[in-house]
Amino acid sequence: MLKKIFHSGPPTSSFEAKLTNEMLLVERQRLLILAIILGITLIANTIGVLFFHQQTIQMYHDERMVLWLGVAQVAAIGYALLARAAFGYFQRRALQPPLMSRIANVFVETSLPTAILVILAVFQGPRAALQTNIVWLYTLFIILATLRLSLTLCLWTGFVAAAEYAAVWLVSGILQPELLTPGYLADHSQVTLILLLMGGGTGMVSLVIRDRVLRSLRSIEERNRIVSVFGQHVSPLVVDKLLNQKTEDDASEVRHVCMMFLDIRNFTTFSERADPVVVIGYLNALFAAMIEIINAHHGIINKFLGDGFMAVFGAPLSDGRDCQNAVAAAQAMVLKVEQMIAAGEIPPTRIGIGLHAGEAITGNVGSPLRKEYTVIGDVVNVAARIEQLNKQFASQLLISEEVWLALDDGRPQAEALEPLTVNGRVTPLQVWKLA
């Protein structure tokens, strides 16, 4: 605890690092606002002295007071810029500033109105000083304290302002006992109480702002985690559903899924002859269209396999129509490729797609630094084997009988092939040709 109060250090977690960075960014913005406000008042006073010298001296009653006020303003601006640079140092090095430095910063800043009151009291007398509007300068610092996103620092700002203001009017009353009238005590006690209450009020506001910042950071972090696990091609709709689902990171489960494997035919030959830039552009154009189709049909591309990919329908989320969605997506991709060829967007291209449905184990696999959502089971292997059969039958879309039966009344035109034996399976496999 003492180390946190008196020493700086790196945040203890990535989330704390983001919060610290946000806090330092807001702190630097607050100090810049303060420096700008003080700078404007200094410029206004300087213009008054240079161009309206006589009137300014009459207003302040003493030329030395104008000088001391200017010194106080310059010192305050310099301090604000220096403190901003110091917080920038912590931000650039991703360090968490010690709490004591922020407490001390509050004390120095909030003491500026006190310094001005003392200067006015010395040159104009305590009564005149306390009757000026300078006292409400404390409220500016209390309001700006909201941006510190800390209840403690807001309460401390209100306390420092109230305590220093009370000290000024109490000492003034002691030095000039004639000031200590019931009205004097009542008026300045009320102002002191208002400053204290403002500290509490801004503290509550800062808590609300801090809570919203925390929720935003948590949401961003959770979204980044989901994208890291499921891939950057996950649709925003799926991300939102996963955010609301609140499942355990390492939870694995058995789910009924429909697996899709897609392969671009003769890609190796094409890539050997074409320029690498052309090859990448070709893949990007083709995959961009396919990713959009997969997302539109509630699927997730689980892995890219060089010239193809593996997609899953029904995990981690299912709408109960996984096979229908997978078949619709496959047909849409076959049609999209034909349209892109006709439009001259890609050279003549044939694809092969295989679909199979069944139970699989799903979950996150990897280390704490890098995890990936994985689908494991016989259904995956069979779907890959079915896709390979496209070469044998010169087809583009083959589905297993499990997928065919799940289509119910919405079955498209298809050709039933003879039962086939595939590697890794003893029982012959009934396959349907859709394209």
Is there a single domain that holds both residue 410 and residue 382?
Answer: yes
Is there a single domain that holds both residue 362 and residue 419?
Answer: yes
Distance in angstroms between the alpha carbons of the first and the last residue of the chain: 68
Report pLDDT digits (tens) over 72-110: 888 888 888 998 898 888 888 878 788 888 888 889 888
pLDDT given for residue 159 in this prediction: 94
For residues 248 and 401, give the distance between their C-alpha atoms in angstroms, rounded to a whole number: 34
For residues 191 and 198, give the distance between their C-alpha atoms in angstroms, rounded to a whole number: 10
Report pLDDT digits (tens) over 216-269: 777 777 666 666 555 555 656 556 655 565 555 556 788 899 999 999 988 888
**Is residue 276 reached through a cis peptide bond, with omega within 30 degrees of 0 on the bond before it?**
no
For residues 283 and 385, give the distance between their C-alpha atoms in angstroms, rounded to a whole number: 23
Report pLDDT digits (tens) over 402-423: 999 988 777 788 888 888 877 7
Is there a single domain that holds both residue 103 and residue 207?
Answer: yes
pTM comes to: 0.55
Confidence of residue 38 (pLDDT cuts 50, 70, 90): confident
For residues 220 and 120, give the distance between their C-alpha atoms in angstroms, rounded to a whole number: 51
Is there a single domain that holds both residue 418 and residue 312?
Answer: yes
Check residue 275 and report its DSSP letter: -
| Residue (of 305, 315, 411, 306) closest to 399 by Cα position | 411
Is there a single domain that holds both residue 220 and residue 344?
Answer: no
Report, in this order, helix, strand and coil percent for the chain, each rounded to 5.
65, 15, 20
* Beta carbons within 8 Å of 17's beta carbon, 6+ residues apart: 10, 11, 94
CB 163, CB 205: distance < 8 Å: no
Is there a single domain that holds both residue 388 and residue 336?
Answer: yes
Question: Element (H or E) spanning 343, and its range?
Answer: none
What's the token pair of residue 242? 């996963």
Report pLDDT digits (tens) over 4-36: 434 444 544 565 677 777 778 878 887 888 889
Question: Element (H or E) spanning 300, and its range?
Answer: strand 299-304
DSSP 9-35: B--SSHHHHHHHHHHHHHHHHHHHHHH
- Residues composing the chain: 435
For residues 172 and 143, give the distance between their C-alpha atoms in angstroms, rounded to a whole number: 27
On whether residue 100 sits in a domain, the answer given is yes
Q: Identify the CATH number of the domain in which residue 373 sits.
A: 3.30.70.1230
For residues 28 and 202, give the distance between their C-alpha atoms in angstroms, rounded to a whole number: 18
On whether residue 231 sits in a domain, the answer given is no
Q: Give the domain range for residue 43.
A: 2-226
For residues 369 and 16, give the distance between their C-alpha atoms in angstroms, rounded to a whole number: 17
For residues 413 and 402, give the distance between their C-alpha atoms in angstroms, rounded to a whole number: 16
Check residue 409 and report its DSSP letter: G
pLDDT given for residue 4 in this prediction: 40
- How many domains, the chain? 2
Q: Please check the confidence at residue 124 and state whether its pLDDT lies above 70.
A: yes
